Chains A and B, each alone.
Chain A
């Protein structure tokens, strides 16, 4: 969809999707992807060159946007670099680097090339190590890797660290990038669509996979004047305890996660004016999520999936959709369900097909991952 909030806002308002035919030279699959432009031409800073890989390039590209760097530098002065936590989500980190290294193994010994850096690229902590060094932060840092809920759960993790006094402010975010194992892996499960994904459509036939990177800086409301800024108000987390790849069919865990987010924020279901669905456009996810939404919110709360714009950005989906919720709140805008031609007649939730303008109070965002790992977040405007 582009860089910066502005471009995302324009893409949402003008129904411009970020999905296009897969033209990556390392993927041979008839599908559409949400590919970020310019990664190939943006190596990581020289002083951290051992971290150079597609995922960390995307991490760096994202932190260059919207004066985020300047905001972090200000926070470092205000709180001290040792009092800022760093919590990032990713599902596959820099695994593309390992995929490439496997093509260049020593034919005699099977050894990986000497230039390959496991710890700095493929290891799941790599993106946090990179961002921590980039900003010279000294506070606690962790990567959450719970598949597609990863970068929603970082908000919960950061919130607990602040509440426990382990840090005073936190950078949260997520980065996931296109790679072979993810695309061919989802394809092996027959979960990838050949067309741009169509959430909640009766003919939906799977995901479009995307890549994304994004961040947010979390501060306690008493630490400044945050009037009219986006407020993070609550989170809910649950497990399906059902199956590795299929959600519990009645949406039991999904409903529990939304209910917990409401309880955490102290809000009632009827105070939520928009739900950004996980809405992956697989048969099973969308069906279970519809049931879960109806169970907690009934059939009137407007909801939609924005995966038709972004594709499923996996470990970055949580932060991507948190930021989309922020755009919605700032513009009093509800996105429709891009690419969806009609609604599955079995669905009972109020899924919006066309963009609309509406005064928003509080919004909820869902992110659900493999293994039945669920997370819901609630945002509003700080008064």
Chain B
């Protein structure tokens, strides 16, 4: 859209508004959670993402979460088919998806019902509901709509019926496709966001397409804005403070892919698997521009083996997968451990076991990450806790993999993968990149596995280095890489490979404590629960509770200083998104209770009676849930 059309339209808008009702004064809010939901393919995702970006540009804190049905195209108007986006907009920094929704835009009443039944909506929240179903040709649809509408009103929700499609038809022929922009226009009005930013979004999204597409979308956006202004009796304002530093807004998978770009790795080998694939999609798009390539292998095992072959002969390589794929890679990961080949393995966790819940969030793979592969196979395990950490953890993982000739597993999850949160724009540093591979002749007498007695580290010989020829093997081997038939050599080499983890542990810093170092309750978490735990702790501390939290980015090895931190608290517990037996179950007691993963690790390492609470609902744990759990724990 050019400037003239924009000015004309703004002029038109302002002229019209003089004729209509006076705009109500905006109600100032600290934060709000907004949802836009529709059938799959109606564009609610796009609308939500745009709203998040606009709010971020205004200077609001945001966290967006995708609402994804399990099927590609679930039947239209189905309770399980809700597709869309949930945006938490705040006056300050937002670190997680928050609690229940305050305002929802729904394109039909069935997808809305799905959200109501999932208890995702705040009691009495505002609902903007597409009203076309009231006049639908099918009397069943009409009946269902009226029944739902009446029930929602009776339950105390503030339901606004909005003829979205009807209004859109005044501007475009196919209203079903553009309705999301009408909704975006309404939301821009409701949250007092600058319409110009939304126009920019449209130009950015559809810029490559026909001008008429851009213009049609802008017309719908403006129509939505105007309609809301003319017809709604409320509007909000969430104070924003523009950042003085540039921020980037991406989801966790894009952040991972950007991390791969920045880390200097040259090859990513993968096999398609939800919810990891979008990272590889993005990488496939951009990696070649910086001299990298994405290899889609014939299966998960081949992807891992390909990555290992490339790492062995050159720089460290990455393979990106999710739970089932991670299971398949175990034998190959063991080979990399045995051969001491650097390798980065990203596991975007999903619900398990087996096929489990492909699009849902869970932190169920920690034990597999640490103990996976047969025999003693020590590897490094890291878990980013924020979108920003998704980016930097890949750079760190690459460095550790090459410095220690180890496998580094990076655990994210479906929640981080699809959530967006702004973070300061990274400033590229050459130190992020791997140096060129060593092709110099190997010194006379040097051996392919000359393990250091203290650290277990050995220099790696790379094909091409004269004098370094040896047969790397997955069999137990000695310093010359000769097959060790001697059990004693095998034991020594197990020791060296294990020592490398200790050597890394010596370089790690103690984790930070969120809150005071002394108190009644310490919550320990890992991975994507970080924002929600810290928000809950902050709220409770403001209420005068003596609670703190600490969040672990390294799970293997565990950083030093955890025991000292725990000693400052009367009680310690972990809160995790994986299974733990419920103590209230009749046959569960201290002799058989299975704890959450991190709790097991901490209990076994520190011999401290650490409790755990976990939930496996396939979605992020809400800060309000964490507060409830902590309050219950404090009463014990």
A binds B: no
Where the two chains meet, the residues of A that have a C-beta atom closer than 8 Å to any C-beta of B are none
